Structures are given as C-alpha cells and as structure tokens.
C-alpha cells in the first residue's frame, strides 16, 4: 500500500481547519494541522515528511503564512504551497510554483488545487 500524501494545514480558525482537514482526509490525504506559524515551523523543523503546505497568510504571532512558506521552502525547495487569504494589505510574497486561493472557498477547491500542484 502506498502512503497517503501528507498535507500540513496552517489555519488559526479552528472550525475552518476541521472542515478543510475532513475534506482532505476524505480525498485520501493525511493531514497535520497547526494553529500558528510558529507551530507550523516546529513541525517543519522536526523534518516530518510533508508533501504540500496549505497556509493561511494572516496568522497570530510573529510568523505569517508568507514566512511559513519561506521557511518550508528553505527545508524542502520543491514543496508545493497553497496560500489562502480573505484579504491582505501586504504585498504578496508567494514562493515560485505556488497557488493563492481567496476566502471564502469551498473545501473541495483545496483538493483541486492540491491536485493541480501534482499532489495526490
């Protein structure tokens, strides 16, 4: 049996993280969650194999979604990244070969985005 692709979902809204995780798991992915950028950075630093990073841009704490993706890519240069945001006054700092999804979105749109990036 092949391993299911593992997605790190970084989102500070508990209800949203649960809905997205359920949709991804139903689509055959393994999901690891983090509520802050710092928690996501710790997961990445532990070198847990991750096949896709899905991160909200606006997160509590000092590390936003842009920073999480930059740290992730420093560790895994080819890691696919999906960013989500409701709005961002900041200039986008997307890493190459990533996708930006605007809120509100359907959880199924995240599965489609993951597949567009070649994961799953």
pLDDT the model gives residue 1:
40
> Among 14, 45, 43, 12, which Cα is nearest to 30's?
43
Q: Give pTM, 2 decimals.
A: 0.94
User: In whole angstroms, what is the distance from residue 41 CA to residue 3 CA?
Assistant: 23
- pLDDT tens per residue across all 120 residues of the chain: 458 999 999 999 999 999 999 999 999 999 999 999 999 999 999 998 999 999 999 999 999 999 999 999 999 999 999 999 987 666 788 999 899 999 899 989 999 999 999 998
Q: Give 43's DSSP letter.
A: H
Question: At what angle are helices 14-26 and 107-116 packed, to 10 degrees?
Answer: 60
């Amino acid at each position: 049996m092949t391993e299911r692709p593992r997605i790190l979902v970084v989102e500070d809204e508990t209800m949203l993280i649960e809905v997205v995780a359920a949709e991804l798991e139903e689509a055959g992915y393994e999901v690891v969650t983090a509520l802050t950028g710092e928690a996501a950075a710790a997961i990445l630093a532990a070198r847990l194999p991750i096949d896709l990073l899905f991160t909200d841009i606006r997160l509590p704490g000092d590390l936003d979604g842009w920073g999480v993706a930059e740290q992730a890519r420093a560790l895994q240069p080819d890691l696919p990244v999906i960013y989500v945001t409701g709005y961002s006054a900041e200039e986008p700092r997307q890493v190459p070969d990533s996708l930006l999804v605007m809120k509100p979105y359907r959880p199924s749109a995240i599965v489609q985005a993951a597949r567009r990036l070649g994961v799953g």
